[in-house]
Amino acid sequence: MAKDKKMDTDVNEDLREETAEAAPEVAEHDRLAALEAELADAKSAVLYAQAETQNVRRRAEKEAADARTYAATGFARDILSVADNLTRALSAIPEVVRSDDRIKGLVTGLEATGRELDSVFARHGISKIVAMGDVLDPNRHQAMMEVPSDKPAGTIVQEIQTGYMIKDRLLRPALVGVAKAGD
């Protein structure tokens, strides 16, 4: 029995030696796995941060481009009433008065002013919406009334106020009258 105890003790010592020798390898392996996991997390975080930075940069560039492109929007909306009044004034002058030599210069000046205003609008990307004969598009037109007509229902048959676009955005919708559906 003493021999068996001695043998058990020797086996236990051998196991302890093997475990002690293996422990550094296991500990090293666990440490290495933990470091690899940390490295993977850090790489992922860096990639996420780079992607987020790129998205912020793109968004800022787009906002800056939009600000440059549409900077005149407020001023353009305000000046549209001037264009409307000039157009109304020109259309209110009867032909008899237009041919009068005393008024002819004034009419010519007003027409030149209207052409110059249209030219300035064009240089800044402001264009009129052509509405007559088109089908009502709620993104560009605002129906103000229905008018009995021989045209298909929803067709624009009257333009009350000209609409305008600035580049690809609506500046002001065209106020229109549309053909009424037959009874």
Per-residue model confidence (pLDDT) at position 86: 93
Contacts of 117 (CB under 8 A, 6+ apart): 79, 82, 83, 86
* 81 and 170 belong to one structural domain: yes
Rounded to the nearest 10 degrees, how much is the dihedral formed by the CA atoms of 124, 125, 130, 135? -150
Q: Are residues 50 and 93 in the same domain?
A: no
Contacts of 24 (CB under 8 A, 6+ apart): none
| Domain shared by 4 and 53, yes or no | yes
Which pLDDT does position 28 carry in this prediction? 82
Same-domain check for residues 132 and 143:
yes
Indicate whether 75 and 64 sit together in one domain. Answer: no
Indicate if 58 and 91 belong to the same structural domain. no
Residue 117 is predicted with a pLDDT of 94
Instruction: Say if residue 172 is in the same domain as residue 124.
Output: yes
Same domain for 164 and 76:
yes
Q: Tell me which residue range forms the domain holding 133.
A: 70-179
Domains held by the chain: number: 2
What pLDDT was estimated at residue 100?
A: 87
pLDDT tens, position by position, for the chain (183 residues)? 555 555 555 555 555 555 545 556 767 888 888 999 999 999 999 999 999 999 999 999 999 988 887 888 888 899 999 999 999 999 999 988 888 888 888 999 999 999 999 999 999 899 999 999 999 999 999 999 999 988 899 999 999 999 999 988 999 999 999 998 765
